[in-house]
Structure 1
Amino acid sequence: MKEIHNEHFSGERALYQANGLKIGGTSFGYGEAPLKRSSYIRLEDSTFSCKFPLWHSDMIKLKNCMMTEDGRAAIWYSKDVSADDIIVEAPKCFRRCHGISLRNVSFPNGDEVLWKCNNVRIDRVKVNGDYFAMDCDGMEICGLELVGAYAFDGVKNVTVRDSVIDCRDAFWNSENIVIYNSTIKGKCFGWNSKNVSLINCTVESREGMCYIDNLMMKNCKLPNTSFAFEYSVVNAEIIGNIDSVRNPRGGIIKADSIGVVILEQDKVDPTCTTIICHDELVRQSI
């Protein structure tokens, strides 16, 4: 493998179609697409301040690297990319990629990151930005810290563990989602989704968990949560209080207490949902 150390590249397509390079301590300055259509590239301690540095590139490993604010749309249409201990200051990184592994990565301006990607592994990643992970398929996530809005829209086959997601309207239009030991905050979680499971989670929302077909919650807490489960089919075991439940479409809801139960008979059939507080059946209709 050819090695490049302590160099500076600028302009357009500086290392176009490179194959089999180990690059260290190198900066990529003003320009575009320095490693477009490259393969088998190892990058360490390097900085990208150029647009589109890794497009249509395969078998890429990055460690201790930085994509500056000028490095927009850094990695698109690429396969088998692993990134360890990197900072991506620019938005729109990772688009239509396959086989992505991110470990200890920070996206301080992470708008539109990870769109339409599949086979994604995330471990200890921090994101501050909107529209994270739209239309991804096949994600294994652990230790994610996310602040933003509209994350995980349209995703499929996602497992999340030990994460904190502070995000308005997360996991809309999604399918086959399992979340363990995590905290979720935001206005409307999970709308228009199918097959969503939460185990040992805390969810804080207004109008959360609505319009879901097959929602399972086990050993979860719902502090400051109101108008939950509207038109959802639910199997929920909740520790503590739920401020209010409105018009679930069916299933079983168990909680220590519920402030208000709204079952509007002109909108749902109240007999399709069993609601139990402290082992007592609850029925309240308006």
Structure 2
Amino acid sequence: MNNTPDTFTSAAEQDMSETRQAFLTGERAEFFAHDRRYVDTIFDDGESPLKHAHDIELRSSSFKWKYPLWYCSDIDAKDCTWFEMARAGVWYTDHITVEDSTIEAPKNFRRCHDVTLRNVDFVNAEETLWACSGVTLDNVSAHGDYLAMNCADVKADNLRLVGNYPFDGARNVEISNSRLISKDCFWNCENVTVRDSFISGEYLAWNSRNVTFEHCTIESLQGLCYVDHLVLRDCRLVNTTLAFEYSSVDADVRGTIDSVFNPSSGTIRADHINELTLDPAKIDPTATTIVTADAA
């Protein structure tokens, strides 16, 4: 009787050749590789080791030099590391999943489509995820400025970001259960929804349209200004001053707003507003309805 447990190997895995515990050097070391699995492999000095590769699995492997994955498709990486010099690591690549990995190199993921990052730490996320589309971020930690500029169709859950100017020019963005410590977050955006999150940083969401915050805590000097169709549902504005300037707003705020400054139109509901400015020389005060609990 055979007591060995059955193991299932997919047809795709059976068709893959395997490179194990290799130390690869030189430019384009594995150029145009396909249908291959790399395990415990080091891609050392030498640019573009997997340029034009497709149908690749990477397991417990590391990149130590520039441009490792350009013009690639169908990449599955797990337990991998991009070291500091593996900068500009993934560009012009479609259908890539990276899990349980650390990315030390900046300027990663540029003009990629269908990107899934799960349990990933970006040690230096400077200029990362630019002009990408179809992006899923699940339990991602990032530190660096200009994350996700001009991205489209982004979904993030448990994103922990410390860095300024994220999501500039992005569209169709959904973020939940996240913490963003970011100046100038969500500038020039369209169709953004943030739920159950904490955002701290001045000048939040300027020059954007169709921006919604639900069950969020926000701290922002001159935040939420110049927004066309801004919605806040069951939010708290902590130490938030000069809010809503020239914004069309539908806001339901729990607690006190420190100051509201010349919104262009809409309705603002709060328990209390410490300082309210509706300057008829700048805006039409009758276009905005203010509802406070202490005035009821």
TM-score, normalised to structure 2's length? 0.94
Give 3-state SS (helix, strand or coil) of 1:271's partner: helix
Residue type of the partner of 2:229? N
Counterparts of 2:17 and 2:294, CA distance in 1: 70
Counterpart of 1:124 in structure 2 is 139
| 1:1-286 pair list within 5 angstroms | 1-278=16-293, 280=295
TM-score, normalised to structure 1's length? 0.97
Residue type of the partner of 1:174? C
Which moves more between the two structures, 272-281 or 156-165?
A: 272-281
Residue type of the partner of 1:181? D
Give per-residue Cα distances to partners, 1:154-207, cap 9 Å, x unaligned.
Answer: 000010010000000100000000111000000010000000011100110000
Counterparts of 2:237 and 2:201, CA distance in 1: 12
Give 3-state SS (helix, strand or coil) of 2:140's partner: strand
Checking the alignment, whether the CA contact within 8 Å between 2:272 and 2:294 is kept in structure 1 is: no
Give 3-state SS (helix, strand or coil) of 1:85's partner: strand
Counterpart of 1:284 in structure 2 is none
Counterparts of 1:277 and 1:248, CA distance in 2: 16
Counterparts of 2:134 and 2:228, CA distance in 1: 25
Shift of 1:279: 6.5
Shift of 1:280: 2.9
Checking the alignment, whether the CA contact within 8 Å between 2:162 and 2:181 is kept in structure 1 is: yes
Shift of 1:264: 1.1
Runs of at least 4 residues of structure 1 off by over 3 A?
A: none
Counterparts of 2:201 and 2:220, CA distance in 1: 5
Shift of 1:66: 0.2
Shift of 1:70: 0.8
Checking the alignment, whether the CA contact within 8 Å between 2:225 and 2:245 is kept in structure 1 is: yes
Counterparts of 2:165 and 2:172, CA distance in 1: 18
Counterparts of 1:206 and 1:275, CA distance in 2: 20
Give per-residue Cα distances to partners, 1:85-119, cap 9 Å, x unaligned.
Answer: 01000100000000000000000111001000000
List alignment gaps of at least 5 residues for structure 1: 282-286
When the two structures are aligned, how many residues end up with a matched partner? 281
Shift of 1:31: 1.1
Could you tell me the percent identity over the aligned residues?
44
Counterparts of 1:224 and 1:119, CA distance in 2: 35
Give per-residue Cα distances to partners, 1:136-163, cap 9 Å, x unaligned.
Answer: 0000110000001000100000100100
Residue type of the partner of 2:167? F
After superposition, the CA RMSD in angstroms is: 0.7
